[in-house]
Copies of this chain bind each other. A is one copy, B any other.
Amino acid sequence: MKEPEHQYPFLLACQRKPAEYTPIWLMRQAGRYMKEYRALRKKFSFLEMCKKPELAAEVTLQPLQKLNVDAAIIFSDILIPLEPMGVAFEFAKGEGPVFHRPIRGMKDVERLRIIEPEEETSFLMEAIRIVRRELEGKVPLIGFSGAPFTLASYIIEGGHSRNYILTKSMMYQDRPTWNRLMEKLSEVLIRYLDAQIRAGVQAIQVFDSWVGCLSPDDYEEYVLPYSKKVMDALDRSVPMIHFGTSTSALLPLMKKAGGNVIGVDWRVDLDEAWARIGYDVGIQGNLDPVVLFGPVDLIKKEVKRILNQAGGRPGHIFNLGHGILPNTPVEHVSALVEMVHEFSSRKK
C-alpha cells in the first residue's frame, strides 16, 4: 500500500477531510509491551536506543510489522533536546528521568544553550531519514517533542512531580527567570521541530503532558504564549497535534495556542471535548490505556463508544489518552487497531 500523501487517512484526518476509515496510531506504540523491543533493551539503554539512528529506526518500525497502524512515530523521547542545552539526565530504574542539576534560578537559566539541532541531535534527524526511506511511503511519519511547560517542569523539579511546587513557585515568584526559561525552551523547540520537519517528518506532535496541573488562568498567562510561539513558527503545511492530559478545562486555550488537532485523554468524553474545542480543529484520542489489559469485549465496547462520540465527523484520529503501558498484551493492541478500522469503515 503506497498512497499519494494527500490520501493517507492519518493526514486526511489532520486536515479534517473524510477518509475511508478513522485512522489510528498509539502513543508509545514502540515500547516495552513488545517482545522485539524488550529484546533490544536487554542490549542497550533507552537513551542509547534513542541516540543510535539505526536502532531508533528499527524500533520505530517494529510496531508496523505487527500492527496495522496508520502512522509511525519516530522513536525518541520528549526530553531529548534538553541534554545538548546543558541539562543532562538519566533514566533511573523505575523512576523516570532524573536531572541531577535542576534549573532553579536565573543563573541556571543563563547557562542553558540554544542548540543547533542538525548537529547536536543529528542522530534523530538521521533516524528520521532512515525511517522515511524504509517506510517507502507506507504510512506517514510523526516527529515530536515536549512542549515548553512540560520540559520546564522536568528541569525545574528534577524529574516527575506530584504537586509542581517548584515549577509553579518559579512562575509565581520569579517571573523574569520563568520568562527567560520559557523563551529559551521555545527557541530551542522551534529549531528542533523545524529540523525534524526538514529531515522528513510529515506531522508533529507537541506533548504538553503535565500541563493539566495548571489552572486555566495560569495556563493562559504563563504557558500559552510560549506554546503558541513554537507552533506559530513552524511550517504550516505540516499538521500539528497538540496533546496534554487532565486538560478538560484547558481545551479551548490549548486550541488558541495552536495545533490542527487537539489530543485529549479519557478524563473527558470525546464528544464533549470536541464540542468545547470547536469543529474547526481535529481531535485525537481517547481510550484509557488500562482498557487494553482487557477483556476484549470491553475494548470493543469502548472503541464503539469513542467512535460513536466522534460521530463519523472527519478529523478524528483514534489514539489512547496516554502512552501504552508496559505490560499491555500485544494481541489486544493489535485487536484494537483492527476494531477501529472495521467499525469506522465508510466502505459499503
Q: Chain A contact residues: over half helix, strand or loop, or mixed?
A: helix
Task: Tell me the minimal C-beta distance from A218 to chain B in angstroms.
Answer: 7
Asked whether A293 and B217 contact (CB < 8 A) given A246-B267, A249-B248, the answer is no
Q: Smallest CB–CB gap between A320 and chain B, Å?
A: 12
Instruction: Take A267-B212, A305-B217, A325-B165 as given contacts and tell me if A293 and B173 are in contact as well, using a CB distance cutoff of 8 Å.
Output: yes
Q: Is B293 within 8 A of A165, CB to CB?
A: yes
- Which residues of chain B are within 8 angstroms of A213 by Cβ–Cβ distance? 267
Interface size on A, residues (CB 8 A): 33
A18 close to chain B: CB less than 8 A:
no
Q: Is the C-beta of A295 less than 8 angstroms from some C-beta in chain B?
A: yes
Verify A290–B172 contact, CB threshold 8 A.
yes
Looking across the interface, which residue of chain B has its beta carbon closest to that of A212?
A: B267
**Copies per assembly:** 2
| A-B residue pairs in contact (CB < 8 Å), sample of 28 | A163-B289, A165-B293, A168-B290, A168-B293, A169-B290, A169-B293, A172-B290, A172-B291, A172-B293, A172-B294, A172-B295, A172-B298, A173-B293, A173-B294, A173-B295, A212-B246, A215-B269, A215-B288, A216-B268, A216-B269, A217-B269, A217-B305, A218-B288, A246-B246, A248-B267, A248-B268, A249-B268, A250-B267
Q: A168-B293, A173-B295 are known; give 11 further A-B pairs, CB within 8 A.
A: A164-B290, A165-B325, A169-B293, A172-B291, A215-B266, A215-B269, A215-B288, A217-B305, A218-B288, A249-B268, A249-B269
